[in-house]
Chains A and B, each alone.
Chain A
Amino acid sequence: MILLEARGVRKAYQGRPVLAGVALALEEGRTLGLVGESGSGKTTFGRILMGLERPDAGEVLYRGAPMPPPRTPAWRALRRKIQAVHQDPAAVLNPGWTVQEALEEPFRVHGMSRAERRARIPALLDQVGLPGAVASRRPGELSGGQKQRVVIARALSLEPDLLFADEPVSALDTSVQAQILNLLMEVCRERGMAMVIVSHDIGVVRHMAERTLVLRDGAIVEEGPSQAVFDHPEHPFTRALVEALPRLGGA
């Protein structure tokens, strides 16, 4: 079953086209990679897919129905089902809140009682591999990897169908990146959750996503199974991306 579909999406800002008719289809429980450089339109496409912005033309369908207009009740209900993890966890977490407060917030917004909220936190922390004692800490006392785990826990709290992961490990230390990528793969598998992963690191996308879209200047230049796209790129731009990425030789 198709979870999220975009058709002929166009968007321009002040007359300057950013997306020139892009499309995608994501099945339930699958992972899709989105690759592109700055100015490719991938951020705008992401915002449109998450329902944060409306396209000038074309449509976005969630479970076959058009995405409701922003800030309507139907939109709010749908927003629970699409959650995001961004590059910089420090920018997302309120520095004055404890982890407990940060994790309770989505439940509070969606009208759950205090006792009910509290009861959920230990399981959430456990799922993202954080010890229970972290609940009383503030972001400043956590490492980058721990903060990103909190952000992932928060995204998972409302049991979304789709996780939008925008450069989820770019700001993390190399030795911690693999932990977070493993966690994302694990939670997607366990919950049958779909994921869109945006990354400049082709290795990450090739490993995590079954299919990949390569975006350039607001258009999709290549699309297909990730391994085929990166191992045998057809478009010159995809080839340039593959060649530009430094990598270590085989083990």
Chain B
Amino acid sequence: MSAALEARDLGIALAGGNPLVERLSFDLTAGRTLGLVGESGSGKSLTAQALLGLLPADRFEVTGSLRILGEAPRNWARLRGSVIAMVFQEPRLALNPRMEVGRQIAEALELHRGMARAEARREAARWLDRVGIASARAEDRPAAFSGGMLQRICIAMALAAGPRILVADEPTTALDATVQAQVLDLVGDLRRELGLAVLLITHDLPLAAQRCDDLLVLYAGRPMESGPTDRVLRRPRHRYTEALIACARFPEEAGTPLAAIPGQVPLVTPPSIPPCVFADRCRFAREDCLERPYTWFPEGHACFHPCGEAP
């Protein structure tokens, strides 16, 4: 079965500047969730914007190949909403504060599916109901809802026109833990029901581990490791993945020192084709880590002395 979205050697750079994302390849498949996991500066949100053609062409250079439903995207205005849709971190910023929420969903239906106003209103009400908001509240404006409810409304708005691909960029980061779980349950249910291909972008490794079939770990704009979630967690190959997993686990005994990665996430993206971007923080780094060019190994990692091999 072919991928709903196929990215090959995706690169993003500021026009004339250093690359911000480099050599990113992945597939989004119907009915599956890929987790794009990364810390700040990893390029995960830029990647999301590139997938929806949202990066202004006068400022960004996007290279590599991108295929959506088997074709190179040309008419973004037609694709966005009807084929590929996005949910953002801040639902309040994604909605028009002055418009009734039912109307906002109905507009998406009129625009992308050519529905008449009355039909779009009925369909919007059905969608509100589907995401757990009483359809009687269709006339309310965003200010009348909690953050979790607004994110449900955004999900309804994103999915109403029947896209095949959903890109969710930190969709629950701004929500309370119990609400976060409910919203992610909803996304999972809709993925199964509608056969959606989902890209879940998050800084939260435990969250990605719980919700995704596959993981792609980014650091400083480069892919570090990818594979099925279970394999990546149980047998990480890249030393960065291993260290990140250790950071997300608390030791059995309370009050004891936590496993920390020394140093900082790079503030400035390293120049093109660098040696390992994690080498300066890696406790297994050797001299050749700083000299050899970046290499993506066939097993899906970019580490010269992977876990499980003598350092």
Contact = CB atoms under 8 A, between A and B. Distances in A.
The answer to whether A and B belong to the same complex is yes
Contact of B180 (A143, A181, A244): A244
B308 interface: no
A38 B148 CA distance: 11
Contacts of A182: 257-258, 260
B247 A144 contact: no
Interface stretch (A65-73, A92-100, A203-211): A203-211
B176 interface: yes
B149 to A, nearest CB: 13
A145 B264 contact: yes
Given A203-B250, A206-B250, A241-B177, A178 B259 contact: yes
Given A37-B178, A175-B243, A246 B209 contact: yes
A248 B205 contact: yes
B305 to A, nearest CB: 19
A227 interface: yes
Nearest to A209: B254
B247 A177 contact: yes
Nearest to B178: A244
A38 to B, nearest CB: 6
Contacts of B98: none
B265 A175 contact: yes
B178 A174 contact: no
Contacts of A247: 206, 248
Interface in B32-51: 39-40
Contacts of A174: 39, 203-205, 244, 247-248
Contacts of B209: 246, 248
**Could you say which of A174, A182, A249, A251 has the most chain B C-beta atoms within 10 Å of its C-beta?**
A174
A226 interface: yes
B74 interface: no
B16 interface: no
Q: Is the interface of A mostly helix, strand, loop or mixed?
A: helix
B197 to A, nearest CB: 22
B273 interface: no
Interface string A235-251: 00000110111111111
Contacts of B247: 174-175, 177-178
A245 B246 CA distance: 17
Nearest to A204: B250
A241 B258 contact: no
Given A206-B254, A207-B255, A179 B178 contact: no
B233 A248 contact: yes
Given A37-B177, A241-B178, A248 B207 contact: no
Interface residues of B, number: 39
A207 B260 contact: no
A200 interface: yes
B267 interface: yes
Contacts of B257: 182, 185
A146 interface: yes
B39 A246 contact: no
B3 interface: no
A157 B254 CA distance: 27
B210 interface: yes
A208 B40 contact: no
B262 A179 contact: yes
A218 to B, nearest CB: 16
A77 interface: no
Interface string B191-213: 00000000000011111011100
A2 interface: no
A152 B206 CA distance: 27
B178 A248 contact: no
Nearest to A180: B260
B265 to A, nearest CB: 5
A207 B265 CA distance: 24
A248 B15 CA distance: 39
Given A182-B258, A248-B249, A143 B206 contact: no
Interface string B45-72: 0000000000000000000000000000
Given A143-B265, A248-B209, A38 B176 contact: yes
A202 B267 CA distance: 29
A37 B176 CA distance: 6
Interface string A180-224: 011001000000000000001011101110100000000000000
Given A38-B147, A146-B264, A207-B255, 15 more contacts: A37-B177, A175-B39, A176-B260, A178-B247, A181-B258, A182-B257, A185-B255, A200-B176, A202-B177, A204-B250, A206-B250, A226-B254, A241-B178, A248-B245, A248-B248
- List the 9 closest A-B pairs by CB distance, nearest first: A178-B260, A37-B176, A178-B258, A173-B39, A244-B181, A143-B264, A175-B261, A246-B206, A246-B210
20 contacts: A173-B40, A173-B265, A174-B248, A175-B244, A175-B261, A176-B260, A176-B261, A176-B265, A178-B259, A179-B262, A204-B250, A206-B254, A207-B254, A246-B207, A246-B210, A248-B205, A248-B209, A248-B245, A250-B249, A251-B249
